[in-house]
Amino acid sequence: MSWLPVPPDHYFSINNIPFGIISTPSNTTPRPAVAIGEHVLDLHAFADSANGFSQLPDFAQSEVFVSERTLNRFASLGRPIHRLVREYLQEVLSIDTPYPGLLRDNPEAQKACLLNSVEDDVRMHLPMDIGDYSDFYAGKNHAFNVGVLFRGRENALQPNYEHLPVGYHGRASSVVVSGTRVPRPRGQVIKSGDGEKVPAFVESGKLDFELEIAAFVGRGSDLGSCVGVDEAGEYLFGMVIMNDWSARDIQAWEYVPLGPFTSKSFATSISPWVVLMDALEPLRTRPLERGTKVPLLPYLQESNSESVYDIPLTTFLANQKKKHIAHSGTHKISQTSSSNLLFSFSQMLAHHTITGCPLQTGDLVGSGTISGIDTQSMGSLLEMTQNGTRKVLLGDSGESRGFLEDGDVVVLAGGCGKAGVGFGECVGEILPAGK
């Protein structure tokens, strides 16, 4: 329990303490912070003017909260330091804090460091300077659903799918923070399949969201070195929920033979608060089962069988033209769990580095789209609507969707009421093309 009020079942309970980068109208310099309930602790002010890390002498690098506009330097310090700092902040914020004079009983320090996310108009920024962004395809149900659509049930999964975490390099420069509005992309699309295929230049008519979770790399690795699967967790900093927006019609034409390119590089939205790996530990569970009896190659065999996390993931859709962004009034279109993965993030890192690819602090690694089995648990409209052919009803609004329309607001929410740990929300609104 914290001495600060936290609404029941809030994902930012004292069990979480996620890190982000904030600014406010009264101090527009981006700076590190942690969230607790609807409150925000400004770590720049806490470390600097309140001398808040005075009771943590083992953490001599608190300037990482003072001089930096991203979390990269903090993340680069490694998992033992992340653990030390998070546990210390839990103590500071705990109702029976051993340091009551630091903040709980210190109105002056509270005034300097504590913000209310709504009342103080806290603006969130990208939490990390992202060097490389890689996206995997580890959501087996999703890969299967998409495979059935395009290749039929017998050949739904490619031969390599269960033997390695399939992934590709994404575009780092188009990763944006939740709340950034996304113009509808234009590009090359094939309108008919007769004779020589001739593309037209059009606005995407198959704009989709993709529900994913993603991890930030903390500690880097060297060119030529491989990260072992059982030590990979030490290389991770924390996680977010992610929307890897996709233009399905542009993708279908461009992706042979080198993979998706402009159909995804127009925007990828992430939630602003990074949930540290330690906060996710209580949510560990088993991944999906492999369908083949051929064992994984040793470099992918993980000792901990509970290698993924069970966090409820919910997708809401609203239309900005009609209703303001809010859960009330929006329509829940999907409910699933982040455990619907065939491979863990440790396996993804082990595979990513197996040929010697270096990791760098701030690299972002996505899970791939996460879907359950039935229509109500799918992580993309492509799957829910069978490539647009079976529209999804938006409650009793009279509205339905094949793909996203202009003004649509997609809200991905990742929360775990029981544990008080979750990602919060990742929000994006579709603007008309060219806006």
Binding site for Ca(2+): what residues are annotated?
A: 135, 210, 212, 244
Q: Which of 93, 115, 250, 384 binds a second copy (CB under 8 A)?
A: 250
Count of residues interacting with a second copy (CB under 8 A)? 67
Q: Smallest distance, Å, CB 348 to a second copy?
A: 11
Strand 284-285 versus strand 308-309 pairing type: antiparallel
Q: Is 424 in the site for a second copy (CB under 8 A)?
A: no
Alpha-helical segments (H) within 214-274: 248-254
Q: Which of 254, 383, 408, 429 binds a second copy (CB under 8 A)?
A: 254
Q: Is 302 in the site for a second copy (CB under 8 A)?
A: no
Peptide bond into 5 cis (omega under 30): no
**Closest CA relative to residue 368, chosen from 147, 46, 190:** 147
How far is it, in rounded angstroms, from Cα 386 to Cα 290? 25
Q: Is 326 in the site for a second copy (CB under 8 A)?
A: no
C-alpha 228: how far from its chain's center? 24
Binding mask 67-86 for a second copy (x = CB under 8 A): --------------------
Q: Is 132 in the site for a second copy (CB under 8 A)?
A: yes
Q: Which of 61, 110, 180, 335 binds a second copy (CB under 8 A)?
A: 180
Q: Is 25 in the site for a second copy (CB under 8 A)?
A: no
How far is it, in rounded angstroms, from Cα 28 to Cα 22? 9
How far is it, in rounded angstroms, from Cα 127 to Cα 177? 8
Stretch that binds a second copy, among 24-32, 247-255, 339-347, 410-418 (CB under 8 A): 247-255
Q: Is 148 in the site for a second copy (CB under 8 A)?
A: no
Q: How many helices (H) and strands (E) does the chain have?
A: 9, 26
Q: Is 227 in the site for a second copy (CB under 8 A)?
A: no
Q: Provide the strand spans (E) within 95-222.
A: 114-116, 123-125, 133-136, 167-169, 175-177, 182-183, 186-190, 199-203, 207-208, 211-217
Residues that bind a second copy (CB under 8 A): 131-132, 134, 137, 158-160, 163-164, 166-174, 176, 180, 182-183, 185-188, 196-201, 204, 223-224, 247, 250, 253-263, 265-267, 292, 294, 297-299, 351-352, 354-360, 363, 435
